[in-house]
Amino acid sequence: MLTGDVAERVRAMVRQVCETFEIRIVSGVVSKDHVHILVSAPPNMAPSEIMRRIKGNTASRLFEEFPHLKKRYWGRYFWARGYFCATVGQIMEEMIKQYLEHHFEPNPNDEFKMEPP
């Protein structure tokens, strides 16, 4: 599902949404069937609001740009309902960054990566 052009657009769209709402992507990975992102967000923005904005904006735009996805994901649900969210301190942040960087072959020029096909 998240391969090729679709994966590229997901990454670009997530970046756009985060930039629009002043959410900084610290690290991230677009895998074949999910996305991991470690973000730094304004303290007044609830995690549920961050996810609503990212999932809502990307899903509707992906369905517009890739009509074949509408057929595959009938009912207009591109993303799963749930998500995992946790707040992290400095030590935990470093552990998460290491996990994301070693999830696959790292690209040192990009903090928001894509898993190889």
Element (H, E) at 114: strand 112-114
26 is written with which tokens?
A: 């610290």
Give the whole-angstrom CA distance, residue 3 versus residue 101: 19
Q: What is the pLDDT of residues 53-87, one digit of tens each?
A: 999 999 889 989 998 888 787 666 788 888 888 87
CATH superfamily of 4-114: Transposase IS200-like (3.30.70.1290)
Torsion (CA) 74, 77, 80, 84 in degrees, nearest 10: 170
pLDDT at 35: 92
Q: What is the pLDDT of residues 7-53, one digit of tens each?
A: 999 999 999 999 999 999 998 999 888 899 999 999 899 999 999 99
Q: CB neighbours of 76 closer than 8 A, spacing ≥ 6?
A: 59, 63, 70
